[in-house]
Amino acid sequence: MSMSLSNLAPIPELYVSYESAQKLKVEAADLPSWDLTSRQICDLELLMNGGFNPLKGFLGEDDYNSVVDTMRLADGTLWPMPITLDVTEEFAAKLELGQDIALRDQEGVILATLSVTDRWTPNKAHEAEKVFGADDLAHPAVNYLHNVAGPVYLGGAITGIQQPVHYDFRGRRDTPNELRAYFRKLGWRRIVAFQTRNPLHRAHQELTFRAAREAQANLLIHPVVGMTKPGDVDHFTRVRCYEAVLDKYPQSTTSMSLLNLAMRMAGPREAVWHGLIRANHGCTHFIVGRDHAGPGKNSAGQDFYGPYDAQELFTQYQSEIGVEMVDFKHMVYVQEKAQYYPANEVPEGDTVLDISGTELRRRLAEGLEIPEWFSFPEVVTELRKTRPPRANQGFTVFFTGLSGSGKSTIANALMVKLMEMGGRPVTLLDGDVVRKHLSSELGFSKEHRDINIKRIGYVASEITKNGGIAICAPIAPYTSTRRAVREMIEAYGAFCEVHVATPLEECEKRDRKGLYRLAREGKIKEFTGISDPYEAPEQPELSVDTTGIDVDNCAHQVILKLEQMGLIAGN
């Protein structure tokens, strides 16, 4: 094979042969086993199929420290992202170094075994600072690190038994070696990859087409379907949109494949990582644009990374990555010419038309026109199906506040008002009712409260997904748990957090259930506000204080808020 085809030679995978896998599967059933999280399944798939080549497993401690601090494995190889297996303390404690464990998917199928060589407790704040640039929970991956990932990391080599099973778009998913073989078969030598987590519109089609032409390369549309930014359009909808757009490219020059990557939104480091992953998939060029894999604003309202940080870092490491960066041109529509131009090449005096992502979401939310110059009608139809106008979508109103603050009373009044309006089914998940029917075995420790709130969040997200209105009214004292619920729901519809901010003194004075007195006397332990924490929401959609205001008025304030959010039609 000639040198120029080295990008298309097979790369190492971590799978054993089919026969060995059958044997190993039986033997592995007796090993201690770890049920992988959704993110770990994505990581494992790319480890096993060579997408994360040269990694041979989840990082050990030395590699981890080196990757975090220097973007390199301990042997000096460029690798910007810690790929770690986070587990619970209980699970980690029962293992011995040197032993094998079975890694199972969410249905219990054994996908691989891991020879545990390393076990350590990472310094997560340090990891956040180094890898994501700030230990700020507004960054989705930092939030994941602190609030979702387990406290202990395990490292070691992987023995791959079988690929994770996918039931959707099977024909559109390719391993690095499958793509390499496909490019070889078609005689493609230069391939420019386009990474995306958003639906494609005309401007994207123009820019990718131009990028490929400039690089004199074939084009691979390579969207991420693993995990993207919370709140993104779901991948089912996106893939249907991509399929519609794919028809607009010349078939002989363009292809599409789905990548089951769990993104971290790490901007510059993520761009380098994406480049390495594309090199493994046989690509020679990679499109990097403004704010590549950007996580949005930090808690001070500023961007986490500079708009061109990703391009700069990528350029710096380009030769080691092994793929060439292609600049992403911001394309705008020029009305007089009825055609797209790069923003910096617009003929003088001509009118530029552009619709931002925010504006697009607004138009979808309000059911307004989306012009044909902006997107393909097939794409708009798909998006409208999944994102009907807000007034037809499901949503959740989530009350939080101290015991006796008035949550249940306002929630009941709100329910009746919404039922009077009609149009969508309304379900009330009141704290006491939930504890009776869904959580009767739970107490009030942090762990139990979190389980309780996540159950409420799960039910509310199902209701929201199916177009209903869920009203929740638990105490929900912890910020991170409320955030997890918000993320669960915002995947399907709007989330309106209402802080019932009646002060503790007032709640205690009312003491409707006599619980505050018992708490003061020490007869009820871990009582919120007395002997247990309540973390007040910092940015709720609405805050109401029931001191001196009647219930009807409070419920009406919520109705006004929902109207303002476009969730119910105004009178």
- Total residues interacting with ligand PPS, rule: CB under 6 A: 21
Answer yes or no whether residue 472 interacts with ligand PPS by CB under 6 A: no
How many of the other CB atoms lie within 10 Å of CB of 471?
Answer: 26
Q: Which stretch binds ligand PPS (CB under 6 A): 193-201, 303-311, 349-357, 519-527?
A: 519-527
Q: Indicate the angle between helix axes 235-246 and 377-386, nearest 10 degrees.
A: 170
Footprint (CB under 6 A) of ligand PPS, residues 404-463: 404, 408, 431-432, 435, 444, 449, 452-453
Task: Identify whether the C-beta of residue 246 lies closer than 8 Å to the C-beta of residue 208.
Answer: no
Task: Identify whether the C-beta of residue 406 lies closer than 8 Å to the C-beta of residue 431.
Answer: no
- Least separation in angstroms between residue 507's CB and ligand PPS is 8
Q: 77, 117, 147, 198: which one is catalytic? A: 198
Q: Where are the alpha helices (DSSP H) in 367-493?
A: 377-386, 407-421, 431-437, 446-465, 479-490
Nearest CA among 113, 100, 137 for reference residue 36: 113
Encoded one letter per residue, x for contact with ligand PPS by CB under 6 A and - for no contact, window 198-237 reads ----------------------------------------
Q: Which of 257, 403, 409, 461 binds ligand PPS (CB under 6 A)?
A: 403
Encoded one letter per residue, x for contact with ligand PPS by CB under 6 A and - for no contact, window 334-373 reads ----------------------------------------
- Facing residues of 428 across strands? 471
Residues 375, 369: Cα–Cα separation, whole Å: 11
Q: 65, 143, 196, 452: which one is catalytic? A: 196
Residue 346 vs 438, nearer CB to ligand PPS? 438
**Rounded alpha-carbon distances, angstroms, from residue 39 to 29, 145, 534:** 23, 12, 30
Q: Confirm whether 424 is a catalytic residue.
A: no
Residues 324, 173: Cα–Cα separation, whole Å: 24
Answer yes or no whether residue 481 interacts with ligand PPS by CB under 6 A: no
Look up tokens 């794409």; give the residue: 379
Q: Which of 166, 330, 385, 513 binds ligand PPS (CB under 6 A)?
A: 513
Q: Which stretch binds ligand PPS (CB under 6 A): 187-195, 238-246, 374-382, 468-476?
A: 468-476
Residue showing the smallest CB distance to ligand PPS in the complex = 431
**Residue 95 token pair:** 């293992």
Q: Which of 101, 475, 500, 501 binds ligand PPS (CB under 6 A)?
A: 475
Q: Which of 145, 527, 544, 561 binds ligand PPS (CB under 6 A)?
A: 527
Q: Confirm whether 260 is a catalytic residue.
A: no
Residue 124 vs 483, nearer CB to ligand PPS? 483
Q: Confirm whether 449 is a catalytic residue.
A: no
- Least separation in angstroms between residue 485's CB and ligand PPS is 11
**Residue 376 token pair:** 């393909």
**Residue 111 token pair:** 């996908």
Residue 136 vs 532, nearer CB to ligand PPS? 532
What is the DSSP pairing of strand 100-104 with strand 254-256? unpaired
Answer yes or no whether residue 524 interacts with ligand PPS by CB under 6 A: yes
- Least separation in angstroms between residue 477's CB and ligand PPS is 5
Q: Which stretch binds ligand PPS (CB under 6 A): 140-148, 210-218, 319-327, 473-481?
A: 473-481
Residues 320, 219: Cα–Cα separation, whole Å: 22
Residues whose CB falls within 8 Å of the CB of residue 212, separated by 6 or more in sequence, listed in order = 192, 218, 219, 253, 254
Q: What residue type is assigned to position 452 of the chain?
A: N
| Burial annotation 335-345 (CB, 10 A radius, 16+ → b, else e) | eeeeebbeeee
Task: Identify whether the C-beta of residue 259 lies closer than 8 Å to the C-beta of residue 222.
Answer: yes
Q: 39, 180, 197, 363: which one is catalytic? A: 197
**Residue 177 token pair:** 């070696």
Residues 318, 274: Cα–Cα separation, whole Å: 12
- In sequence order, what DSSP letters do the residues of 288-319 get, joined into one string? E-TTTT---B-TTSSBSS-TTHHHHHHHHHHH
Q: Which of 78, 131, 426, 476 binds ligand PPS (CB under 6 A)?
A: 476
- Least separation in angstroms between residue 96's CB and ligand PPS is 37
Q: Which stretch binds ligand PPS (CB under 6 A): 35-43, 93-101, 127-135, 521-529?
A: 521-529
Residue 79 vs 444, nearer CB to ligand PPS? 444
Instruction: Let me know if 485 is exposed, middle or buried by CB neighbors in 10 A (0-12, 13-18, 19+).
Output: buried
Q: Which of 395, 528, 554, 561 binds ligand PPS (CB under 6 A)?
A: 528
Give the distance between the most distant pair of CA atoms in the chain.
83
Q: Which residues bind ligand PPS (CB under 6 A)?
A: 403-404, 408, 431-432, 435, 444, 449, 452-453, 474-477, 513, 515, 524, 526-528, 532
Residues with active-site annotation? 196-198
